[in-house]
């Protein structure tokens, strides 16, 4: 029998948090800088794996790869959108005029 998704998510999260807690304790007790670096890389890899798993389950949204940046002012944007809307409305009106049925005598 399949386990409910919520229960699976809780199990994954509990295991992740427990492993991370142990890794941070290990980091605090380590004396060698090389060992500390390895532990930090392991913690980072575990974080990435956890969030990728949560993204695959649909719990965490993935950030876009690229942000959309514009230099268009609000006034220019409003003018552009208004013109696009009017052009679309005009196209719809033209399409409706073309589709009228001639009266049958």
CA distance readout (Å), 38 to 30, 45, 48, 51, 75: 11, 11, 15, 20, 53
Give pLDDT, residue 100: 56
For the range 38-45, what are the long-range contacts, defined as Cβ-Cβ under 8 Å and sequence gap of 24 or more? none
CA dihedral angle for residue 48, residue 54, residue 57, residue 61, rounded to 10 degrees: -90
Contact predicate 27/57, CB 8 Å: no
CA distance readout (Å), 47 to 9, 35, 78: 15, 18, 42
**Each residue of 36-76: pLDDT tens digit?**
999 999 999 999 999 999 998 888 887 777 777 778 888 99
Between residues 73 and 18, the one the model is more confident about: 18
Residue 93, pLDDT > 90, answer no
């Amino acid at each position: 029998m399949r386990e409910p998704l919520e229960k699976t998510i809780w199990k994954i999260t509990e295991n992740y948090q427990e492993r991370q807690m142990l890794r941070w304790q290990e980091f605090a007790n380590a004396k060698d800088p090389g060992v500390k670096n390895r532990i930090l890389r392991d913690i980072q890899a575990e974080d990435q794996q956890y969030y990728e798993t949560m993204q695959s389950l649909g719990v965490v949204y993935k950030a876009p790869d690229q942000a959309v940046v514009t230099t268009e002012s609000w006034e220019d944007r409003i003018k552009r959108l208004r013109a696009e809307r009017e052009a679309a409305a005009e196209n719809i009106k033209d399409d409706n005029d073309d589709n009228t049925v001639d009266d049958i005598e």
